[in-house]
């Protein structure tokens, strides 16, 4: 089955530093998402992206966050100035035709902010 791939699998950074998390969605998918999961807690929606623009974002997705699709395959999440509370597993996901479809999740990037 096609997979969503994420890199790196682990990222350690100092508070205040910028990080970029990378994702390659499934090739024929059109909708892309970022979710995060703090250890042992629920999966929280951050942002959805379609047709090169944000279609929906949550309250968590403040000005410190941005997303980009710099080329035809990558989908990135940038955190401009990381905080301790940004430590979490970040999952990228994609769907074929939008939010009515099942989400295909990547394996995640574990972000640790020190």
Partner 1 sequence: GQQVMQIPQYQHVQEGEDFTTYCNSSTTLSNIQWYKQRPGGHPVFLIQLVKSGEVKKQKRLTFQFGEAKKNSSLHITATQTTDVGTYFCAGRWNYGQNFVFGPGTRLSVLP
| Cβ-contact 6, 106 below 8 angstroms | yes
- Between residues 8 and 99, which has the closer beta carbon with respect to partner 1? 99
94 contributes a contact to partner 1 by CB under 8 A:
no
Separation of alpha carbons 12 and 1, rounded Å: 30
- Candidates 32, 34, 49, 104: give the one binding partner 1 (CB under 8 A): 104
Pairing of strands 31-37, 43-50: antiparallel
| Residues 33-62 as x/- pattern, contact with partner 1 by CB under 8 A | x-x-----xxxxx--x-------x--x---
Q: Is 24 in the site for partner 1 (CB under 8 A)?
A: no
Calpha distance 33→54 (Å, rounded): 9
Question: Which of 1/71 has CB closer to partner 1?
Answer: 1
Q: Answer for the pair 25, 33: CB distance below 8 angstroms, yes or no.
A: no
Binding positions for partner 1, rule: CB under 8 A:
33, 35, 41-45, 48, 56, 59, 91, 98-100, 102-108
């Amino acid at each position: 089955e096609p997979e969503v791939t994420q890199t790196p699998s682990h990222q350690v950074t100092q508070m205040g530093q910028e990080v970029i998390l990378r994702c390659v969605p499934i090739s024929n998918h059109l909708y892309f998402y970022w979710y995060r999961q703090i250890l042992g807690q629920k999966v929280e929606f951050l942002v959805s992206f379609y047709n090169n623009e944000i279609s929906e974002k949550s309250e968590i997705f403040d000005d410190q966050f941005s997303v980009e699709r710099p080329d035809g395959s990558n989908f990135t999440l940038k955190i401009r100035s990381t905080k301790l509370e940004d430590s979490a597993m970040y999952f990228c996901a994609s769907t074929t035709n939008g939010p009515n479809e099942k989400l295909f999740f990547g394996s995640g990037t574990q972000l640790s902010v020190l």
